[in-house]
């Protein structure tokens, strides 16, 4: 790996000033700053972040033989810090942070993927809808404090997609797969075609494996991988590769998804409207599909109303049903901030109500968070004529 040129003095000063401004915004909101370790046990990240970020994580063996990683994200270690001090997960907390995170970028393989991330996690808030609205508005305020202007905002809500799948009678295992890939439109479209039997000719081996009992199917697939000399790929283990083959085997052998159900899913994922028109667009879609999404749409309506009460104009935002972000732990309202001059998102966040339970909390601990990426914001500011 070729070392990237170090930041010059002006860039360091600009990044430090941004971070200080954001931490001040978070402090005013009542957040306590913490500092998770840079080197972390790898399993919590690899199991819960999603395939996109798993393969971009720097993983290595520690002196004791265990798998470690450079933290690719700060939400998970912040949640772990909360659980270390609140093991019963029975108290609210607002925790903020700022520091480097590390993600390999396959488009720039010769550069170390280090960037500054600042953010806040709001855990066990008494009013989840208000906390969601505050997270978006807080992000907007932080970017404005840094001097950024004319930012594009995208909103989504994964809970509505989950409720649609349930209302359509999708089996839980299939529904989970569809939810997991909602942020990958091309793959999700291919998956829908495969589930309806409209993809190319099926694989006879996979179809046969899909009829076997689970443990026997797993053994057959792992034997086939061994015979083919297939080894772990990046951060994907043999078990993960096996799971992917077993998913495809289940597709090849199980009942097809009815075309009208796939059409309803595709129609939902195609909804992209100004945020002010999202509620009506979703109600119309539900009527067309013949399903009730009243509860989840009403929840979105409440959140959008609370956002407006904070002075944020919904005319600035787009609601995109297919928008889900690339972290698998999100479960509800999600958002992202971008500018045309920078290809990656500047900031984003959303609700994740199951992550703390997955990390060991003895009871549900709903949470919402936000993250801002320093170098991207500085690049955007410089493109707009600001920044050092």
* Distance between start and end Cα atoms, the chain: 29
Q: Note whether 14 and 125 are same-domain residues.
A: yes
Which residues constitute the domain of residue 218? 198-255
Among the listed residues 178, 173, 245, 240, the one whose alpha carbon sits nearest the alpha carbon of residue 205: 245
Q: Note whether 245 and 309 are same-domain residues.
A: no
23 found inside a domain: yes
Task: Return the pLDDT at 195.
Answer: 83
Given its phi and psi angles, is residue 65 left (phi above 0), alpha (psi -120 to 50 degrees) or beta?
left
342 found inside a domain: yes
Q: Note whether 275 and 330 are same-domain residues.
A: yes
332 CA to centre of own chain? 10
Strands 93-102 and 32-33: parallel
Task: Return the pLDDT at 346.
Answer: 97
Q: H or E segment at 78?
A: helix 75-85
**Domain's final residue, options 238, 255, 272:** 255
Q: Note whether 236 and 275 are same-domain residues.
A: no
212 found inside a domain: yes
252 has a pLDDT exceeding 60: no
**Domain's final residue, options 255, 274, 289:** 255
Residue range 268-288, pLDDT digits in tens? 999 999 999 999 999 999 999
Rounded Cα gap, residues 145 and 149, in angstroms: 10
Q: Note whether 65 and 156 are same-domain residues.
A: yes
Cβ atoms 307, 314 nearer than 8 A: yes
DSSP 8-state symbol, 30: T
* Number of domains comprising the chain: 2
Among the listed residues 53, 71, 41, 106, the one whose alpha carbon sits nearest the alpha carbon of residue 329: 53
139 found inside a domain: yes
pTM of the full structure: 0.83
Q: Note whether 65 and 150 are same-domain residues.
A: yes
120 has a pLDDT exceeding 60: yes
Cβ atoms 350, 369 nearer than 8 A: yes
Q: Note whether 147 and 73 are same-domain residues.
A: yes
Phi, psi of 169 (to 5 degrees): 80, 25
192 found inside a domain: no
Q: How many CB atoms lie within 10 A of CB 58?
A: 18
369 found inside a domain: yes
Q: Note whether 298 and 373 are same-domain residues.
A: yes
How confident is the model over 142-170, as a mean pLDDT? Answer: 94
Average pLDDT over all residues of the chain? 85
Secondary structure of residue 14 in the 3-state scheme: helix
233 has a pLDDT exceeding 90: no
Q: Note whether 222 and 301 are same-domain residues.
A: no
388 found inside a domain: no
374 has a pLDDT exceeding 60: yes
Q: Note whether 212 and 87 are same-domain residues.
A: no
Out of 41-45, 65-69, 316-320, 329-333, give the one with best mean pLDDT.
316-320
232 found inside a domain: yes
Query: What angle is formed at CA 327 by the lines to CA 135 and CA 104, rounded to 5 degrees?
Result: 115
Task: Return the pLDDT at 177.
Answer: 80
How confident is the model over 190-204, as a mean pLDDT? Answer: 67
User: In DSSP terms, which residues pair with 96 in a beta bridge?
Assistant: 33, 120
Q: Note whether 218 and 114 are same-domain residues.
A: no
**Domain's final residue, options 222, 238, 255:** 255
Secondary structure of residue 309 in the 3-state scheme: helix
Q: Note whether 243 and 208 are same-domain residues.
A: yes
Rounded Cα gap, residues 159 and 299, in angstroms: 10
CATH number of the domain to which 64 belongs: 3.30.930.10
Query: What angle is formed at CA 274 by the lines to CA 268 and CA 279, rounded to 5 degrees?
Result: 55
């Amino acid at each position: 790996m070729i070392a990237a040129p170090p930041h010059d003095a002006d860039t360091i000063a600009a990044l430090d000033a941004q971070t200080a401004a954001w931490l001040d915004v978070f402090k005013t909101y009542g957040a306590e700053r913490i500092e998770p370790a840079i080197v972390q046990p790898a399993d919590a990240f690899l199991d819960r972040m999603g395939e996109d970020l798993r393969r971009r994580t720097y993983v290595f063996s520690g002196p004791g033989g265990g798998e470690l990683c450079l933290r690719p994200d700060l939400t998970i270690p912040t949640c772990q810090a909360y659980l270390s001090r609140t093991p019963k997960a029975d108290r609210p907390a607002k925790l903020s942070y700022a520091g480097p995170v590390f993600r390999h970028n396959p488009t720039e393989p010769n550069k170390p993927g280090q960037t500054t991330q600042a953010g806040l996690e709001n855990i066990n808030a008494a009013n989840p809808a208000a906390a969601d609205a505050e997270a978006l508005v807080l992000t907007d305020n932080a970017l404005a404090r840094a001097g950024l202007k004319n930012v594009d905002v995208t909103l989504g809500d994964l809970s509505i997609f989950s409720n649609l799948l349930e209302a359509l009678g999708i089996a839980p295992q299939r529904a989970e797969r569809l939810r997991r890939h909602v942020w990958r439109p091309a793959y999700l479209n291919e998956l829908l075609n495969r589930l309806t039997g409209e993809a190319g000719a099926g694989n006879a081996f996979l179809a046969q494996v899909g009829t076997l009992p689970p443990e026997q199917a797993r053994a057959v697939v792992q034997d086939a991988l061994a015979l083919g000399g297939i080894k772990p790929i990046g951060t994907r283990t043999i078990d993960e590769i096996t799971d992917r083959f077993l998913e495809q085997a289940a597709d090849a052998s199980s009942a097809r998804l009815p075309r009208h159900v796939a059409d309803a899913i595709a129609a939902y994922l195609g909804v992209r409207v100004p945020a002010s028109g999202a509620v009506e667009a979703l109600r119309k879609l539900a009527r067309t599909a013949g399903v009730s999404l009243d509860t989840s749409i009403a929840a979105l309506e409440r959140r959008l109303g609370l956002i407006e009460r904070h002075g944020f104009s919904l005319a600035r935002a787009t609601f995109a049903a297919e928008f889900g972000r690339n972290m698998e732990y999100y479960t509800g309202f999600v958002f992202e901030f971008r500018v045309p001059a920078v290809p990656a998102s500047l900031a984003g966040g959303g609700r994740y109500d199951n992550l703390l339970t997955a990390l060991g909390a003895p009871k549900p601990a709903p949470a919402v968070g936000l993250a801002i990426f320093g170098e991207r914001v500085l690049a955007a500011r410089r493109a707009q004529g600001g920044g050092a």
